[in-house]
C-alpha cells in the first residue's frame, strides 16, 4: 500500500490526477525500444532496436544496439509492430516505441516517447543516420530520404549515462567540477555539456555526459567501454563511474544477460561498498608527488610533510586510503631513483617527468602515469582514493552520533510527509518522514529502535542537504 500511495502522490504532483493503473507483472523482462521516424507523406520506418534493460530506479543507465536477445524474425516482428502503431496515430516526427520482452520471446507495448531520447546516439552509430538532422528535415516538410529496405545496421554501439551521483546510494552529488578529463580513442564518442568550473546543483538532472562506444561487434564495444570508463577522470563531485565500470566488467553483462533486475540480482552496489586496497604503485606515485618538486613548485604538496631536502636519509610519509592508513618509507638512490617500501611491497622507481599535477615514472621496465587530484590520484587510468594523513598528534574533534546521520536529508529538497509524532516509540527500519528532491521521493527510516524526540520541520518545509530531519533517542 505504501508503494501505491507513493505512486499516487507522484501522479498528483506531476499531472494533477492521482489515478493509477495496475498492470500485469512480467518477471525478469528486457526493455527493448524501437526508433521510428515518420514524415508528412505517410512514410514511417524503424531504425532498429535499442536494449535499455540495465536501469536504476527505472531510469536507463546503459543502452546498446543491437540487442543480443532478438533473432532476425523477432526483430522484424517487433519493428513492424512499432511502425504499425505509429501509422495508426499518423505520427510525423522521430519517436520511440518501447516494449517489454519476456523470457519466452513475447513482447508487450509499454509506451511511446514522442521525441528523440537520450540514447539515440547508439542508433546513429549503427545506422549512420543523423537523427537530429532527420527530425529537422521532417519538421521542414521534407519526405524521408530512405525506405525500410535502405536501413542497415553495422557493428555494435553502447551508451552509458554518466551522472554526478553516489554509486552506492544512487543519490545526486552536488558541487563544482575541479577535474574533467574525458577519454579518447578509436570508437569513443562523448556528448557532454559540462567542463571544469561548472557547478552541479539540485535544480537539474545530474547527468554530466553520454559516453558512447562503437565496435565491429559487441565484444569489441564492451572492451572499448571498459577502457573509456577506466580513463574518464572527474573530480569535485562523486560520479557513477564505479557503478558503470562494475557493470561493464561483470560476466553476466559480457554474456549479454541483461534484464531490468540486473543491478539487484547481481548485487552490483554491494561489491562497491567493499573497500579495495590501492595498488602499491599508486601509493608510491602519491609519495613521489610529495618528495619530488615540480619545476614551478619547489615545495611538497603534502601539507603535513617536512619540506623536501636533498638528502639520502629515509623519509617517512603517512597516507589514508579506503582500506585504512598506510606508511611509506622512501630513500633517495643514485641517478634520481627512489627506494620505496609500503608494508610488504617495495620498488625502486625513477621519476621521468613531473609537473604540477602529472607524473611519469619507471619501475623496472614498466612505465606508469599518475594524475594528482584533491582526493587522491589517477594511476594508469584507475582512480585511487589516497590522501595525506594528519600528524600523529592531531586529535580529531569529530563527534560520532551513532546512526544519526541516517536521519539527515540526503540532499536539499522538500518535506512532503511526516509519518510519526514527537514522543512516538519506533522500531528499527520504520519509515519516519518522506522528502522529495530532484523529482524523486526519499524515505528516512529509523536506524535503530528508539523514541522520536523532536521533528524540526513540518510538511512543506524546504530543507538543506545534511540537516537532521528527525531527532531520536535510543533510550
Q: How far apart are CA 468 and CA 301, in angstroms?
A: 36
Query: CA of 232: how far to CAs of 154, 244, 304, 386, in Å?
Result: 26, 11, 30, 18
- Residue with C-alpha cell 554491494? 270
Kindly give the residue spans of alpha helices, DSSP state H, lying in 34-71.
Answer: none
**With the CA atoms of 301, 305, 311 and 313 taken in that order, what torsion angle do they form, in degrees rounded to the nearest 10?**
-140
DSSP category for residue 334: G
Catalytic residue among 115, 226, 405, 451: 115
Q: In terms of Cα–Cα distance, which of 4, 3, 1, 13 is closest to 437?
A: 13
Q: How far apart are CA 308 and CA 298, in angstroms?
A: 8
Query: CA of 124: how far to CAs of 82, 352, 378, in Å?
Result: 18, 43, 32
Query: CA of 312: how far to CAs of 82, 334, 349, 380, in Å?
Result: 74, 9, 15, 29
Longest Cα separation, the chain: 82
Q: 212, 122 in Cβ contact below 8 A?
A: yes
- Catalytic (active site) residue 189: no
Q: 45, 37 in Cβ contact below 8 A?
A: yes
Q: Kindly state the cell numbers that stand for 374.
A: 584533491
**Burial (CB count within 10 angstroms: exposed 0-12, middle 13-18, buried 19+), residue 439:** exposed
Please give the radius of gyration of the chain, using alpha carbons only, rounded to the nearest integer: 27
Q: Alpha carbon 441 to chain centroid distance?
A: 19
- Residues labelled catalytic: 115
Amino acid at each position: 500500500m505504501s508503494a501505491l500511495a507513493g505512486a499516487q502522490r507522484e501522479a498528483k504532483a506531476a499531472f494533477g490526477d492521482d489515478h493509477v493503473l495496475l498492470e500485469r507483472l512480467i518477471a525478469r523482462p528486457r526493455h527493448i525500444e524501437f526508433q521510428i521516424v515518420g514524415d508528412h507523406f505517410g512514410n514511417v520506418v524503424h531504425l532498429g532496436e535499442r536494449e535499455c534493460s540495465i536501469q536504476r530506479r527505472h531510469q536507463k543507465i546503459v543502452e546498446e544496439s543491437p540487442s543480443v536477445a532478438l533473432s532476425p524474425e523477432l526483430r522484424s516482428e517487433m519493428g513492424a509492430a512499432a511502425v504499425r502503431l505509429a501509422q495508426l496515430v499518423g505520427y510525423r516526427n522521430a519517436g520511440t516505441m518501447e516494449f517489454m520482452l519476456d523470457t519466452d520471446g513475447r513482447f508487450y507495448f509499454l509506451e511511446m516517447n514522442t521525441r528523440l531520447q537520450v540514447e539515440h546516439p547508439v542508433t546513429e552509430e549503427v545506422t549512420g543516420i543523423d537523427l537530429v538532422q532527420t527530425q529537422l528535415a521532417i519538421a521542414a516538410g521534407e519526405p524521408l530520404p530512405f525506405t525500410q529496405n535502405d536501413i542497415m545496421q553495422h557493428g555494435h554501439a553502447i551508451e552509458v549515462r554518466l551522472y554526478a551521483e553516489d554509486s552506492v546510494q544512487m543519490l545526486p552529488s552536488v558541487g563544482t567540477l575541479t577535474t574533467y578529463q574525458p577519454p579518447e580513442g578509436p570508437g569513443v564518442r562523448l556528448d557532454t555539456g559540462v567542463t571544469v568550473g561548472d557547478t552541479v546543483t539540485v535544480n537539474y538532472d545530474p547527468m554530466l555526459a553520454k559516453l558512447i562506444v562503437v565496435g565491429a561487434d559487441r565484444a569489441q564495444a564492451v572492451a572499448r567501454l571498459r577502457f573509456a570508463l577506466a580513463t574518464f577522470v572527474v573530480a569535485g563531485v562523486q560520479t557513477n563511474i564505479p557503478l558503470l565500470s562494475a557493470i561493464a566488467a561483470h560476466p553476466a553483462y559480457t554474456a549479454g544477460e541483461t534484464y531490468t533486475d540486473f543491478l539487484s540480482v547481481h548485487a552490483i552496489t554491494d561489491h562497491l561498498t567493499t573497500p579495495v586496497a590501492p595498488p602499491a604503485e599508486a601509493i608510491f606515485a602519491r609519495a613521489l608527488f610529495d618528495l619530488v618538486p615540480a619545476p614551478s613548485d619547489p615545495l611538497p604538496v603534502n601539507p603535513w610533510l617536512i619540506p623536501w631536502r636533498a638528502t639520502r636519509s629515509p623519509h617517512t610519509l603517512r597516507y589514508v586510503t579506503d582500506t585504512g592508513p598506510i606508511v611509506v618509507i622512501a630513500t633517495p638512490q643514485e641517478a634520481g631513483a627512489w627506494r620505496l617500501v609500503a608494508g610488504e611491497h617495495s620498488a625502486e622507481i625513477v621519476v621521468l617527468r613531473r609537473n604540477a599535477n602529472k607524473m611519469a615514472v619507471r619501475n623496472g621496465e614498466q612505465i606508469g602515469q599518475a594524475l594528482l587530484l584533491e582526493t587522491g590520484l589517477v594511476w594508469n587510468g584507475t582512480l585511487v582514493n589516497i590522501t595525506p594523513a594528519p600528524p600523529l598528534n592531531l586529535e580529531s574533534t569529530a563527534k560520532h552520533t551513532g546512526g544519526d546521520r541516517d536521519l539527515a536529508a540526503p540532499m536539499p529538497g522538500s518535506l512532503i510527509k511526516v509519518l510519526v509524532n514527537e514522543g512516538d516509540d519506533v522500531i528499527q527500519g520504520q519509515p519516519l518522514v518522506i522528502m522529495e528532491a530532484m523529482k524523486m521521493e526519499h524515505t528516512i527510516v529509523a536506524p535503530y529502535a528508539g523514541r522520536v524526540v523532536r521533528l524540526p520541520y513540518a510538511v512543506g518545509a524546504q530543507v538543506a542537504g545534511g540537516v537532521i530531519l528527525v531527532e531520536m533517542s535510543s533510550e
